[in-house]
Amino acid sequence: MKIAIAADHAGFVLKEQLRKALAAEGHEVSDFGPGSAESCDYPDYAQPVARAVADGRAERGILVCSTGIGMAMAANKVAGVRAAPAVSEDEVRLTREHNDANVLTLGARYFDEAQARKLAGIFLQTGFAGGRHARRVGKIAQMEQAPGRQQP
């Protein structure tokens, strides 16, 4: 699978661990930075990952910051992106099955490498259930056409 990944300074170490693990599993991982744990602004890294997912250069995205919330807020400004912060295995599974989330955001403050790898694995392996959920996801896509939304 083609995966776009990035972080801010707070998520740098966990992002690096995930990047290496995903590549070792055979995924094609595009790293959008940063290259160090030096202080930086999370929107600068959320946007290129979101755009890569929205325009099809990546099938899924993973973003890591301190809480996962800021990255989700920034990524969701790009039309076609459904970024979800998740803290449990059940949330990750349901956000894929019910919401067709295409970007997972993780909080480095809350997960060690093993936990983050587990959540990323669930995110990458779980499919979208479709059915009644497709109708709901379609309504989200309609909302993205509203004035002021950023297009890929």
My answer on whether omega of the bond before 85 falls inside 30° of 0, hence cis, is no
Query: Is 65 marked active-site?
Result: yes
Catalytic residue among 27, 40, 65, 133: 65
- Is the torsion defined by CA of 70, 75, 78, 83 positive or negative? negative
* Phi, psi (degrees; rounded to nearest 5) at 130: 70, -145
Alpha helices in the chain (DSSP H): 12-24, 43-54, 69-75, 89-97, 113-125, 132-143
Query: Is 27 marked active-site?
Result: no
CA 152 from centre of chain: 16
Residue pair 99/76 in contact (Cβ under 8 Å)? The answer is no
- Active-site positions read 65, 98
